[in-house]
């Protein structure tokens, strides 16, 4: 006989759990160059620096 769940797992239980996952905060760290919050293992969107030295991307000037 195959293992079966002891109690009924309602669809709403699953949906509540999935909804909670959606609102988890992204893991952010401070940039070593400009100390702005940035995603880990990604180039800083403010200054374009990665690991303190390499400039990987060109930052577009924001228009007012
Ligand atoms: Zn930066």
Q: Which mean pLDDT values do the consecutive 10-residue runs of the chain (64 residues) have?
A: 90 90 81 87 83 66 66
Per-residue model confidence (pLDDT) at position 64? 60
Per-residue model confidence (pLDDT) at position 31? 86
Q: What is the DSSP letter of 43?
A: -
* CA-CA-CA-CA torsion sign (55, 63, 31, 42): negative
CA distances from 32 to 27, 41, 48, 51 (A): 16, 12, 11, 7
* Dihedral, 30, 34, 40, 46 alpha carbons, nearest 10: 130
| In the chain, where the domains are located | 26-59
**What is the whole-number distance in angstroms between the Cα of residue 22 and the centre of ligand 1?**
27
**What is the whole-number distance in angstroms between the Cα of residue 23 and the centre of ligand 1?**
25
Does the global pTM surpass 0.75?
no
């Amino acid at each position: 006989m195959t293992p079966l769940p002891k109690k009924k797992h309602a669809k709403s239980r699953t949906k509540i759990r999935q909804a909670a996952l959606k609102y988890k905060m992204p893991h952010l760290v401070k940039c070593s160059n400009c100390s702005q919050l940035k995603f880990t293992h990604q180039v800083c969107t403010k200054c374009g620096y990665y690991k303190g030295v390499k400039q990987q991307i060109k930052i577009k000037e924001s228009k007012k």
